[in-house]
């Protein structure tokens, strides 16, 4: 990841309307990117955590779109790696309106429970990774409800639950790019594998498989993964993630039945790191120390334990 600043590299690889800013999570490049969409009403999607605000603001200025000009902040979901900076941005930029799923809005108006949940997951690393979270006045929020199109005529919100029940993705209908958040998992490199982003507590595997099928129906030309970057062929990646989630579910079920789930979670963590190492190099461990594959295993384990006997529906596209 050495070389030119990430925000400059990303600008060269993106279409004319799109700007990606590597927000440099905890000094780590290639972990979290924010998306800027240029137009008459500029949009920012998923600003990242409050600890990364200086990199976000610097990157936006470098790309010719200072955040003073942005009018719409669209959040895929309220997890702090995506939305933690939202309250700070609302305080700094009085013309900014926040858009998100109606079920996520209460957690930003009063983030007490959200922060407590995140602290349970990340422990002592919480403050270093995510910083403080500021509440957002309700009048600065415009909620999306099922059946709505929003938030803008050309920027369509799509319900994409699975990673979280309130997860949305946003389709830029001008150029066919989907701001996917975590709906398509984690992808670092065009030739690398998709990693499932399945941390507790909100994973719903049935909803996620339906989301992936619906993304294929919508048919975006390309997608932005918050973790990380712009990649082609989201249809193929949605198929890959579908297969990966089904296999991980079966693996967790078998490990629980055998009484080996704790050891299997540790094995999954190591396997996931090695699968991504050719595409991230030496910083793969720094990334996965922040976003642990063992935690993703725990999310699937929680789903299995809450839904005993759940069987994945047949894959309608399998031969």
Give the domains, in start order, of the chain with CATH numbers: 6-306 (3.60.15.10)
Tell me what pLDDT residue 129 has.
Answer: 84
Q: Is residue 157 within 8 Å of residue 170, measured between CB atoms? A: yes
Give the H/E segment covering residue 262: helix 261-280
Which residues make beta-bridge pairs with 25? 28
Give the H/E segment covering residue 141: strand 141-144
Query: Which of helix, strand or coil describes residue 35?
Result: strand
Enter the tokens of residue 44. Answer: 């920012």
pLDDT band, very low/low/confident/very high, at 4 (cuts 50, 70, 90): very low
Tell me what pLDDT residue 9 has.
Answer: 33
Burial class (CB in 10 A: 0-12, 13-18, 19+), 2: exposed
pLDDT of residue 13 exceeding 80, the answer is no
Rg (Cα) of the chain, in Å, rounded? 18
Tell me what pLDDT residue 282 has.
Answer: 82
Enter the tokens of residue 108. Answer: 């930003």
Which residues make beta-bridge pairs with 100? 143
Work out the average pLDDT over 62-67. 91
- pTM for this one? 0.91
pLDDT of residue 75 exceeding 50, the answer is yes
Cβ-Cβ contacts under 8 Å for 171 (sequence gap 6 or more): 155, 156, 158, 177, 178, 179, 218, 220
Q: Is residue 142 within 8 Å of residue 148, measured between CB atoms? A: no
Closest CA to 52 of 276, 290, 299: 290
Q: How far apart are CA 7 and CA 18, in angstroms?
A: 12
DSSP 113: H
pLDDT of residue 163 exceeding 70, the answer is yes
pLDDT of residue 2 exceeding 90, the answer is no
At 92-145, the pLDDT tens digits run 999 999 999 999 999 999 999 998 888 887 878 888 888 899 999 999 999 999
Q: How many helices (H) and strands (E) does the chain have?
A: 12, 12
DSSP 22: E
pLDDT band, very low/low/confident/very high, at 42 (cuts 50, 70, 90): very high
Tell me what pLDDT residue 88 has.
Answer: 97
Task: Share the mean pLDDT of the chain.
Answer: 91
Q: How far apart are CA 289 and CA 303, in angstroms?
A: 23
pLDDT of residue 220 exceeding 70, the answer is yes
Enter the tokens of residue 140. Answer: 């600065």
């Amino acid at each position: 990841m050495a070389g030119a600043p990430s925000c400059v590299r990303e600008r060269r690889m993106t279409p004319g309307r799109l700007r990606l800013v590597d927000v440099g999570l905890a000094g780590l490049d290639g972990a979290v990117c924010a998306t800027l969409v240029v137009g008459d009403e500029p949009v920012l999607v998923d600003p990242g955590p409050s600890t990364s605000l200086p990199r976000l603001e610097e990157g936006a200025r470098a790309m010719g779109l200072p955040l003073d000009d942005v009018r719409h902040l669209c959040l895929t979901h309220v997890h702090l790696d995506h939305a933690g900076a939202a309250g700070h941005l609302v305080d700094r930029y009085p013309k900014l309106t926040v858009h998100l799923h109606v079920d996520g809005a209460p957690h930003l108006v009063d983030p007490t429970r959200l922060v407590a949940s995140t602290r349970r997951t990340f422990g002592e690393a919480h403050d270093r990774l995510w910083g403080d979270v500021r509440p957002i006045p309700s009048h600065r929020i415009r909620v999306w409800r099922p059946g709505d199109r929003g938030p803008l005529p050309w920027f369509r919100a799509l319900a994409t639950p699975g990673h979280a029940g309130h997860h949305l993705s946003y389709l830029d209908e001008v150029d066919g790019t989907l701001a996917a958040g975590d709906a398509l998992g984690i992808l670092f490199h065009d030739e690398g594998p998709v990693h499932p982003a399945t941390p507790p507590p909100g994973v719903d595997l049935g909803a996620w498989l339906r989301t992936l099928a619906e993304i294929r129906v919508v048919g975006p030309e390309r997608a932005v993964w918050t973790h990380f970057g712009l990649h082609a062929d989201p249809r193929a990646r949605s198929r890959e993630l579908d297969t990966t989630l089904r296999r991980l579910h079966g693996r967790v079920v078998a490990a629980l039945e055998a009484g080996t789930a704790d050891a299997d979670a540790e094995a999954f963590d190591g396997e996931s790191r090695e699968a991504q190492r050719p595409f991230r190099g030496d910083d793969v461990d720094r990334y996965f120390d922040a976003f642990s594959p063992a935690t993703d295993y725990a999310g699937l384990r929680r789903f299995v334990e809450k839904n005993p006997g759940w069987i994945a529906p047949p894959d309608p596209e399998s031969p």
